[in-house]
Amino acid sequence: MPHVIIYTDGGAAPNPGLGGWAAVLYSPEHDKKLEIYGAEPNTTNNRMELLAAIKALKALKFSCEVDLHTDSSYLHNAFNKGWLKNWQKNNWRTSTGGQVLNQDLWQELIKLTRTHKIKWHWVKGHADDEINNRCDELVQIAREEFI
């Protein structure tokens, strides 16, 4: 199975507002890098974080072993702390009984995780991670190009 390293980021300003998403995909095997990004009006930070992961995984042409890096605790914890499993078990309700937001994107992500073997990694945003910072720049470029 090919190995791919992915970094994702998303944001909206104001929140909700004009949003951007971005991903950097790297194949160590082929020493190739791909940068993808886009924007959407009237959205939220969390939707853009999820969309970045979806778009990155959809860009893969084969089933891959993926190391996916995100600065979104929302995205990371949903997979690594079992939030998604609990939400599904509770008919898409949170631990406090509220409706889980962004269900459409979560369901799309769940389908994509069946195609790939994914390890989710959290990185500190706006810090010293060069690739995460590049994703943040691409989010801003996406938003600027949209205007």
Active-site choice (11, 69, 71, 76): 71
Active-site choice (11, 19, 69, 136): 136
Active-site choice (11, 19, 40, 49): 49
Annotated catalytic, 9?
Answer: yes
Annotated catalytic, 116?
Answer: no
Question: Tokens for 127?
Answer: 């810090």
Active-site choice (126, 137, 144, 145): 126
Active-site choice (10, 11, 19, 38): 10
Active-site choice (9, 11, 19, 116): 9
Annotated catalytic, 126?
Answer: yes
* C-alpha to C-alpha distance for 41 and 82, rounded to whole angstroms: 30
Annotated catalytic, 129?
Answer: no
Annotated catalytic, 19?
Answer: no
* C-alpha to C-alpha distance for 144 and 82, rounded to whole angstroms: 36
* C-alpha to C-alpha distance for 80 and 120, rounded to whole angstroms: 7
Cβ(70)–Cβ(76) below 8 Å = yes
- Give Cα separations from 13 to 20, 26, 110, 143 (angstroms): 9, 28, 27, 9
Annotated catalytic, 136?
Answer: yes
As a whole number of Å, the end-to-end CA separation of the chain is 40
Annotated catalytic sites, by residue?
9-10, 49, 71, 126, 136
